[in-house]
Structures are given as structure tokens and as C-alpha cells.
Amino acid sequence: MIEQTAIPGVLLITPPRFGDHRGFFSESWNRKKLEAEGIVLPEFVQDNHSLSREKGTVRGLHFQSPPHAQGKLVRCGRGVIFDVAVDVRRGSPTYGRWVGYELSFDNGKQLWIPDGFLHGFMTLSDDAEICYKCTDHYAPECDGAVKWDSCGIDWPIADIVPIISGKDQEAQHLSDFDTPFSYEV
Ligand SMILES: Cc1cn([C@H]2C[C@H](O)[C@@H](COP(=O)(O)OP(=O)(O)O[C@H]3O[C@H](C)C(=O)[C@H](O)[C@H]3O)O2)c(=O)[nH]c1=O
């Protein structure tokens, strides 16, 4: 199932699961089947996998600048996360707008986030693992971060001091952010 979100271009995708007495099987990514539904995503060149041990961890809000901007197809392989995309495309009518969804092993939902967006998540369970496909390779020289609590996001765990990296602790505020994305939208 494919659902549009409040930000055009950001999609919620739920691949079907085939359950039986053993458990389930699901094609977590099938380009041909998505294209048959009119969804053509860029080529993916890198798969990432991260584990966050504790509930209340925040990773993000991250981006890679052009020429290595990344689109991401995110799913939660274990546990539960609240996954967020923030539109930072210059000139976008939804600039600064965010969407967030609970992705979990149980619901099997995936979030497609085109490049030109910040991406981050808050874990809502211990041992939350995410697996995500990227449309460009890691380019540390293009890596950037915006402060997780500077975008007006209604994070599901309020008044939290999250577990975050030093990089995320030092991230710039959205109000000070000069977007490197100048796509025509
Ligand atoms: C992203 C990345 C990182 N690394 C190395 C660099 C560091 O030594 C280590 C941890 O990196 P970082 O702290 O940036 O990991 P996260 O905080 O999970 O960052 C990611 O989290 C948010 C949610 C994202 O969407 C991005 O993919 C990415 O920024 O992995 C690599 O070797 N390759 C990579 O593609």
C-alpha cells in the first residue's frame, strides 16, 4: 500500500506480508511492483543499518549536501521508532514543514524521503534497529545536522533529554540553517 503524506513527494509504503504458521514473508523492496503502481524511485546504491540500544534515543536531523544528497527509504527491522522528514528545499511551498510516522517491526511501514529533506528519528522502544536504502553514497564532507528540537516537531516522548551523539548535540538550529538544496519544486 502506498500513502501520500502532507508533504508531496514523501511517501508511506507498506509492503504486503504473507503470514503462515511459521511467521511471515515480505518483499521489503521491489522496484518493479512499485513502478507498476506509478512510483519510480531513484536508484539505491547503499544500504544502512543502525541499532539504538535505548528508548529515547534521537538520531538526526541529518542530511548530505549536493552533489551527494541522499534520498532514503527507511524501515524499522526491530522495535519501534518515530521517523521524521523535514522539507528544507529552497523555494518549497512546504519549506520547514515536517511529517512523522511510527515505523515498527510490527507495522512494517516504510518512509520514502527524497533528497532535500532532513531525516531523523526517536526510538520508542529499546533495541530499535533501522534499515534504510540510500540514493547516494556516504560523503562525510557533505554530512550535516540540524538540531532535533529546532524544527517544531511534536516528538512522541515530550520533555525528554534524549540520548544523542556529540554531533547532534552541536547541530545548528533550523532558523540558522542555510539550505544547500535549490531544487525547483
Ligand atoms: C551515515 C554513515 C555513517 N558512517 C560512520 C560514521 C561514524 O563513524 C559512524 C556513525 O555515524 P553517525 O553518528 O553519523 O550515525 P547516525 O547518527 O546514525 O547518522 C545517520 O542517522 C540519520 C538518521 C540518517 O538519516 C543518516 O543516514 C545518518 O546521518 O558511522 C558510515 O561509515 N557511513 C554512513 O553512511
| Ligand 1 atom index nearest CA of 120 | 23
Ligand 1 pocket test target in 52, 58, 59, 61 with most atoms within 8 Å of CB: 59
pLDDT average, residue stretch 91-118: 97
What is the full DSSP assignment across 32-75?
A: HHHHHTT--PPPP-EEEEEEE-STTBEEEEEEE-TTS---EEEE
Rounded to 5 degrees, φ, ψ at 90 are -55, 130
pLDDT at 183: 75
Whether 101 is catalytic: no
The per-residue pLDDT for range 128-148, each reduced to its tens digit, is 999 999 999 999 999 999 999
Question: Cα separation of 20 and 151, whole Å?
Answer: 43
User: Looking at 21, 49, 132, 138, which residue is catalytic?
Assistant: 132
pTM reported for the whole predicted model = 0.97
pLDDT at 184: 67
Ligand 1 pocket test target in 45, 47, 48 with most atoms within 8 Å of CB: 48
CB 101 within 8 A of CB 82: yes
Give me the domains of the chain, ranges plus CATH numbers: 2-176 (2.60.120.10)
pLDDT average, residue stretch 97-126: 98
User: Looking at 21, 49, 62, 68, which residue is catalytic?
Assistant: 62
Q: Any residues with CB less than 8 A from the CB of 147 and at least 6 apart, and which? A: 61, 168, 171, 172, 173, 174
Question: Cα separation of 5 and 2, whole Å?
Answer: 10
C-alpha cell at 128: 530499535
* 98: helix, strand or coil: strand
The per-residue pLDDT for range 149-185, each reduced to its tens digit, is 999 999 999 888 899 999 999 999 999 999 999 876 6
Task: Flag whether the ipTM exceeds 0.90.
Answer: yes
The per-residue pLDDT for range 36-73, each reduced to its tens digit, is 999 999 999 999 999 999 999 999 999 999 999 999 99
Give burial (CB, 10 Å; 0-12/13-18/19+) of 14: middle
Using a 6 Å CB cutoff, which residues line ligand 1?
Answer: 48, 50, 59-60, 62, 72, 119-121, 138, 165, 167
Q: Which residues pair with 62 in a beta bridge?
A: 119, 145
Place of cell 515498527: 104
The CA 23 to ligand 1 mean position distance, Å, reads: 31
Whether 173 is catalytic: no
| Ligand 1 atom index nearest CA of 50 | 18
Q: Of all protein residues, whose CA lies closest to atom 24 belonging to ligand 1?
A: 62
The CA 6 to ligand 1 mean position distance, Å, reads: 27
Percent of the chain with pLDDT over 90: 96
Within 13 Å, how many C-alpha atoms sit on residue 133's CB side?
14
pLDDT at 158: 85
